[in-house]
């Protein structure tokens, strides 16, 4: 009897092999654009067609959107391919790891000393409780940042480290922060227990501990789900790894999908060894390589393959595609970041319009392209019936600009505005970033000490121990009623503002920004922090770089002009990003959270990390300079393998055309630096590259 596999008709040979595998552990090594979600979906449908009850199947992924997409695709396929599906009431359990944790904890809340109506704390709630705990045990939050302590606790929980274990180790620690963290952590847990609350990390830690410590409960869930599917397995941390292993312990019917070459979240605790050691954990595991890429051209894929093969810690695979050869990869050598941004903007207009470069004004003209862009918008291609064509409808939306660090968006955003190109920033736009607003608020407050909104924003940043009650009295003109110590703190703050005002009257604008960062304590605050804080400091340094263009204005006008332009740019950003162009139709939503809801037709700007899981027809990867990509920070050792994986992810976002660029000079914190091209560029075979802008190139030097 021939087996009915009609529902697998859309799969290639390897995808079908994975989908038909039913018993025992399965590792699907799925390269970029190889259809991993499609394969998992059809595997689950096949299990159901083989008679496995849907409620016996568990599928776990990382984001709510990914879980929702997988759930919808599974349901659609079930309805299409199973008999009586219209009456189907039971479906596989599809969730994120954290949602799975909530499910297990709620069903066993009493064992953990909780009610099933426990509160899940967000990041700010957790930090607030930690701050309270610090104050109660006499630890100054100004000296030991509550957020930093929270990050340490979170990191340890991700490694399945419990308070008791950490406290025991703490006795042998010479690091005073470890001792303080242990004390704060202890009180933090007591406060949460009293409030019947859990933080985000508890959802996994306590669920796994519950399963490990209670054989009867563990057996319930092992029997409940006989077939386990884990998506993006290369991104699992220790506690997620343990949860997967425990749940699949009895039946061993675990299917994991992932790609070691796309492991780019080690700073979040993702452990590459989890996927690399799968065969060791499950010696009888079947391995299926999904190597056919459906996304990119042959040239793009060859470049990506060549780059990633230089990494040592990876399974051997070689992506291939039946797609067209495609264009060569464009490589642009820019003079500086502004020249690079201009190049990107003009290329975007060429793509959108399908025009030749000569049709556009020369680079270096500050706003010359605005009217030309309007012409692009106004073009109407009509079909024989007279209806407007959608040829142009999503051209901008098909373009992505990828960069290594958030601060790089500033020059690119300016270029988008200068050339009147609609854009969206995935994340927070440059002038809307908190640290930028805080720094500018110091300038405004120094110029106008009556600006209560600015004073309120910065008087306790960095923390100075000036509370809300004190602020209320201060703003009410009741300074004399405050304790002497508090009046001294307030006076010290106003002395900082006075020093900033004096500095801006006698110094260049860029030097004033540097002074603000040091004098206010912002630099010291962020320098002592982790990855996120260092990124914020980089953004502020980029503000100092931006300020260079105001250095030649006399009589302190530079700061005033900077503040004026920042406000206007922010308003303009909002208009460009949030308002659909009247001549552009609305697009359909697709892709990652927050990106592809196309209320307008806009170029997407994002870090490479944020771009993982997305795809675009045209991709620009900018800032390919040593020290920037691969990224070096404060002399820390570069993890070249992870940086190369990140570059690989960037390359494989592109479907049709890929552009790479680097700048010979880049101004960072007001200092002009000479750069060498990234080593990653030389990893790409020369015959796959073509130089952009070699002929008739006009470079603009921004002084």
Greatest CA span in the chain, whole angstroms? 94
Q: 513-521 long-range contacts, Cβ below 8 Å, gap at least 24?
A: 513/439, 513/540, 513/543, 513/544, 513/547, 513/670, 514/544, 514/669, 514/670, 516/439, 516/442, 516/443, 517/439, 517/544, 520/442, 520/458, 520/462, 520/496, 521/462
Q: Is 357 a catalytic residue?
A: no
* Nearest CA among 479, 434, 459, 437 for reference residue 563: 437
Give the start-end residues of each E strand in 140-299: 197-198, 227-230, 254-258, 286-290
Residue at token pair 């189907």:
88
From the candidates 206, 314, 433, 653, give the one annotated as an active-site residue: 653
Per annotation, catalytic residue among 145, 226, 231, 656: 231
Report which of 197, 217, 231 is spatially closest to residue 43, judged by C-alpha positions: 231
Distances in whole angstroms, Cα of residue 448 to Cα of each of 451, 471, 698? 6, 17, 43
Q: Could you tell me which residues come within 8 angstroms of residue 499 by beta carbon, excluding any fewer than 6 positions away?
A: 515, 519
d(CA 423, CA 407): 16
Phi and psi torsions of 433, nearest 5°: -70, 135
User: What's 226's DSSP letter?
Assistant: S
The Cα 53–Cα 46 span in angstroms is: 11
Among 241, 228, 325, smallest CA distance to 275 is for 241
Residue 329 · residue 660 · CB < 8 Å: yes
- Alpha helices by DSSP H, 419-483: 434-447, 452-458, 468-475
Beta carbons of 203 and 119 less than 8 angstroms apart = no
Element of type H or E holding 690: strand 689-691
Nearest to 346 by CA among 365, 325, 333: 365
Catalytic residue among 145, 232, 642, 643, which? 232
Active site residue 37: yes
3-class DSSP state of 411: helix
Point out the catalytic residue in the list 14, 16, 36, 363. Answer: 36
Neighbouring C-beta atoms of residue 578, cutoff 10 Å? 12
Query: Rounded to an integer, what is the distance from CA 522 to the centroid of its chain?
Result: 24
With contact defined as beta carbons under 8 Å apart, do 154 and 530 qualify?
no
Q: How far apart are CA 441 and CA 435, in angstroms?
A: 10
Question: In a 3-state reduction of DSSP, which class is residue 104?
Answer: helix
Identify whether the C-beta of residue 110 lies closer than 8 Å to the C-beta of residue 76: no
Residues 139, 162 contacting (CB under 8 angstroms)? no
Please pick, among 262, 408, 512, 607, the residue that the annotation labels catalytic.
262
Angle at 468 between CA 462 and CA 472, to 5 degrees: 120
Residue 653 catalytic? yes
Is residue 23 flagged as an active site residue? Answer: no
Do residues 225 and 175 touch, judged by C-beta distance below 8 A? no
Tokens for 361, please give them: 């004004």
**Catalytic annotation present for 234:** no
Bridge partners of 96, per DSSP, are 61
Q: How far is Cα 45 from Cα 16, in angstroms, rounded to an integer?
A: 12
Q: Are 433 and 549 in contact (CB under 8 A)?
A: no
**From the centroid of its chain, how far is CA 486?**
40
Concerning whether 262 is annotated as a catalytic residue, the answer is yes
The two tokens of residue 135 are: 């104050």
Dist CA 612 CA 652 (whole Å): 9
Distance of CA 623 to the CA centre of its chain: 17
CB count, 10 Å around CB of 76?
Answer: 13
Query: Known catalytic residues?
Result: 36-37, 231-232, 262, 653
């Amino acid at each position: 009897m021939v087996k009915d596999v009609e529902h697998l008709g859309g799969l290639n040979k390897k995808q079908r092999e994975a989908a038909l595998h039913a018993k025992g552990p399965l590792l699907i090594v799925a390269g970029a654009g190889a259809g991993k979600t499609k394969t998992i979906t059809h595997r689950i449908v096949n299990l159901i067609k083989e008679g496995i009850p849907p409620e016996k199947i568990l599928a776990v992924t990382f984001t709510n959107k990914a879980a929702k997409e997988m759930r919808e695709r599974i349901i659609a396929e079930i309805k299409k391919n199973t008999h009586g599906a219209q009456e189907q009431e039971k479906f596989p359990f599809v969730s994120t790891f954290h949602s799975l944790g909530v499910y297990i904890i709620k069903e066993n809340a009493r064992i953990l000393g909780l009610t099933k109506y426990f509160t899940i704390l967000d990041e700010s709630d957790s930090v607030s409780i930690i701050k309270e705990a610090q104050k109660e045990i006499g630890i100054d939050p100004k000296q030991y940042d509550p957020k930093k302590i929270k990050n340490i606790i979170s990191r340890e929980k991700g490694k399945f480290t419990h308070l008791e274990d950490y406290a025991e180790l703490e006795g042998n620690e010479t690091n005073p922060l470890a001792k303080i963290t242990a004390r704060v952590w202890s009180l933090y847990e007591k406060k949460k227990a009293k409030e019947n609350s859990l933080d985000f990390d508890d959802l996994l830690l306590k669920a796994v501990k519950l399963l490990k410590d209670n054989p009867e409960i563990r057996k319930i869930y092992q029997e409940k789900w006989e077939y386990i599917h884990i998506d993006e397995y290369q991104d699992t941390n220790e506690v997620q790894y343990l949860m997967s292993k425990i749940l699949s312990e009895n039946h061993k019917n675990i299917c994991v999908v992932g790609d070691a070459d796309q492991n780019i979240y080690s700073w979040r605790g993702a452990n590459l060894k989890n996927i690399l050691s799968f065969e060791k954990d499950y010696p009888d595991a079947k391995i299926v390589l999904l190597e056919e890429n459906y996304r990119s051209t042959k040239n793009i894929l060859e470049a990506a393959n060549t780059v990633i093969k230089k990494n040592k810690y990876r399974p051997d695979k070689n992506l291939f595609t039946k797609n067209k050869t495609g264009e060569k990869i464009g490589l642009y050598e820019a003079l500086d970041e502004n020249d690079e941004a201009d190049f990107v903007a003009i290329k975007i207009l060429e793509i959108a319009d399908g025009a030749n470069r000569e049709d556009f004004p020369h680079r270096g003209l500050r706003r010359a392209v605005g009217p030309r862009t309007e012409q692009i918008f106004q073009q109407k291609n009509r079909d024989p019936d007279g209806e407007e064509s959608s040829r142009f409808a999503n051209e901008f939306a098909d373009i992505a600009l990828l960069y290594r660090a958030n601060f790089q968006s500033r020059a690119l955003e300016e270029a988008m505005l200068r050339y009147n190109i609609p854009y969206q920033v995935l994340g927070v736009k440059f002038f809307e970033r908190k640290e930028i607003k805080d720094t500018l608020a110091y300038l405004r407050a120094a110029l106008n000490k009556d600006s209560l909104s600015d004073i309120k924003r910065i008087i306790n940043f960095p923390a100075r121990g000036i509370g809300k009650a004190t602020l209320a009295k201060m703003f009410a003109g009741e300074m004399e009623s405050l304790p002497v110590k508090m009046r001294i703190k307030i006076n010290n703050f106003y002395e900082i503002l006075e020093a900033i005002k004096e500095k801006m009257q006698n110094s260049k604008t860029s030097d004033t920004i540097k002074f603000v960062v040091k004098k206010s304590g912002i630099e010291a605050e962020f320098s002592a922090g982790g990855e996120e804080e260092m990124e914020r400091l980089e953004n502020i340094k980029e503000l100092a770089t931006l300020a260079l263009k105001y250095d030649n204005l006399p009589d302190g006008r530079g700061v005033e002009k900077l503040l004026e332009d920042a406000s206007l740019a922010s308003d303009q950003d909002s208009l460009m990003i949030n308002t659909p162009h009247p001549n552009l139709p609305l697009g359909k939503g697709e892709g990652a959270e927050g990106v592809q809801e196309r209320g307008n037709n806009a170029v997407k700007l994002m870090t490479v990390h944020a771009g993982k899981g997305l795809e675009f027809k045209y991709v620009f990867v900018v800032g390919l300079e040593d020290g920037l990509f691969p990224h070096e920070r404060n002399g820390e050792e570069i993890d070249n393998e992870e940086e190369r994986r990140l570059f690989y992810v960037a390359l494989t976002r592109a479907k049709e055309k890929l552009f790479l660029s680097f700048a010979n000079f880049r101004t960072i914190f007001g200092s002009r630096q000479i750069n060498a091209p990234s080593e990653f560029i030389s990893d790409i075979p020369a015959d796959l590259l073509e130089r952009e802008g070699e002929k008739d190139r006009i470079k603009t030097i921004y002084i």
